[in-house]
């Protein structure tokens, strides 16, 4: 299988490293950065690429060309699967939305970790994929490495979904956990979360609950046919939560967690008190999702919602499933 990667940030690099290290039967023919690209129809030499782009942008790689960009590479139809990894933008979904539309219209499959286009244009993109008989997959957008979307779609097939509730943002979980453990303030811990590479490019997306709300919208549209947008989510972030409040909750057997709830009549993200013995009460950068359904009753999945190899792994799983 041939793939082309659009967006060579942390996740893109993670994918390339994993394909190389695990010797996966995936040929990377193209990689696009912001204003440049690397292309080899027989397959890019990944070992050379990894070494040549260590600590620098793709534009500093001697084999990167300025005469090739994402749109050109899309129109070349050089790959079976295009992996779209540009940063999330929940205002207009760009630049990812235009790339994805163009790829699907060209009858190539799309795998993405970019929440923006899925949040804003879910129905239209699904229709376009169907019309062109190609796949549009985005497992990494909800819960990162936690296999939630595929689990509900496939393993829980036939169940009626009652509601989904969980921790969908690792950065805020990390902040709240550290606040409880050390009494440190939000700003300081947020800086550390940024160093860990788990925070969004604009970290207000994390602390204001926007990132969790985007994931809640994806769940609502996919599993409740909600036709929801960001404005339909009742959102409250964690900026007003103090270390004192977290510590008081702790003394009474509770943890403070930023919880997303999705159901037929509810679409909400807010800080909540969770009993320490509850399955959703997981710490650090972990995500946890609890789903209530009619047959299996209740399933909780826990895992890493962010991180270079964790997110890359979810993207690779989508590629391999195609």
200 binding ligand HSE? (CB under 6 A): yes
User: Minimal distance in Å, beta carbon 205 to ligand HSE?
Assistant: 7
Give the closest residue to 189 by CA, choosing from 202, 171, 205.
171
Does the annotation mark 215 as catalytic? Answer: yes
Which residue among 86, 114, 171, 177 contacts ligand HSE (CB under 6 A)?
171
Closer to ligand HSE at the Cβ: 95 or 144? 144
Q: Which two structure tokens, joined as six digits, stand for 106?
A: 């060209």
Q: How far apart are CA 196 and CA 314, in angstroms?
A: 19
198 binding ligand HSE? (CB under 6 A): yes
Q: How far apart are CA 289 and CA 263, in angstroms?
A: 13
Catalytic residue among 101, 215, 257, 308: 215
**Site residue total, ligand HSE (CB under 6 A):** 11
User: Minimal distance in Å, beta carbon 162 to ligand HSE?
Assistant: 25
93 binding ligand HSE? (CB under 6 A): no
310 binding ligand HSE? (CB under 6 A): no
Closer to ligand HSE at the Cβ: 12 or 37? 12
Q: How far apart are CA 115 and CA 214, in angstroms?
A: 7
Give the closest residue to 26 by CA, choosing from 79, 70, 100, 103.
79
170 binding ligand HSE? (CB under 6 A): yes
Tell me which residue has tokens 């947008």.
Answer: 229
Alpha helices per DSSP H over the chain: 10-21, 46-52, 70-75, 96-105, 115-131, 148-150, 170-182, 186-196, 204-207, 210-224, 243-251, 308-321
Which residue among 117, 144, 180, 243 contacts ligand HSE (CB under 6 A)?
144
Angle in degrees, CA 194, 195, 201, rounded to 5: 35
Which residue among 28, 85, 199, 249 contacts ligand HSE (CB under 6 A)?
199
Closer to ligand HSE at the Cβ: 73 or 140? 140
Which residue among 207, 306, 316, 319 contacts ligand HSE (CB under 6 A)?
306
Interface region with ligand HSE, contact rule CB under 6 A, candidates 126-134, 167-175, 220-228, 264-272:
167-175
Give the closest residue to 28 by CA, choosing from 49, 15, 43.
43
Which residue among 305, 309, 314, 319 contacts ligand HSE (CB under 6 A)?
305
Q: How far apart are CA 267 and CA 287, in angstroms?
A: 18
Closer to ligand HSE at the Cβ: 30 or 143? 143
Q: Which two structure tokens, joined as six digits, stand for 11?
A: 């996740």
211 binding ligand HSE? (CB under 6 A): yes
Instruction: Give the side-chain half-sphere CA count within 13 A for 315.
Output: 34
State the residues that interact with ligand HSE by CB under 6 A.
144, 169-171, 198-200, 206, 211, 305-306
Which residues are designated catalytic? 215
């Amino acid at each position: 299988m041939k793939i082309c990667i659009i967006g060579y940030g942390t996740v893109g690099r993670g994918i390339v490293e994993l394909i190389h290290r695990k010797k996966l039967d995936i040929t990377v023919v193209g990689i696009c950065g912001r204003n440049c690209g690397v292309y080899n129809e027989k397959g890019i030499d990944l070992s050379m690429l990894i070494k040549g782009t260590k600590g620098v942008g793709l534009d500093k790689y001697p084999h990167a060309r300025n005469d090739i960009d994402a749109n050109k590479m899309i129109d070349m139809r050089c790959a079976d699967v295009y992996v779209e990894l540009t940063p999330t933008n929940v205002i207009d979904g760009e630049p990812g939305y235009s790339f994805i539309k163009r790829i699907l219209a060209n009858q190539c499959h799309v795998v993405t970790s970019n929440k923006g286009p899925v949040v804003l244009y879910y129905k239209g993109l699904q229709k376009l994929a169907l019309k062109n008989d190609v796949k549009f997959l985005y497992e990494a957008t909800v819960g990162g490495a936690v296999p939630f979307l595929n689990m509900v779609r496939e393993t829980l097939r036939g169940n009626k979904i009652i509601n989904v509730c969980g921790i969908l943002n690792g950065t805020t979980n990390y902040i709240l956990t550290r606040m409880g453990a050390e009494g440190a303030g939000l700003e300081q811990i947020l800086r550390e979360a940024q160093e860990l590479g788990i925070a969004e490019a604009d970290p207000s997306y994390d602390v204001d609950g926007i990132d969790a709300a985007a994931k809640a919208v994806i769940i609502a549209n996919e599993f409740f046919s909600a036709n929801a947008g960001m404005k339909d989510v009742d959102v409250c972030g964690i900026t007003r939560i103090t270390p004192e409040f977290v510590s008081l909750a702790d003394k009474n057997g509770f943890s403070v967690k930023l919880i997303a709830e999705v159901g037929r009549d509810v679409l909400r993200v807010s800080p909540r008190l969770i009993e320490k013995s509850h399955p959703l009460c997981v710490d650090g950068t972990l995500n946890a999702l609890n789903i209530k359904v009619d047959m299996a009753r209740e399933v909780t999945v826990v895992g890493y919602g962010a991180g270079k190899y964790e997110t890359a792994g979810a993207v690779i799983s989508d590629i391999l499933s195609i």
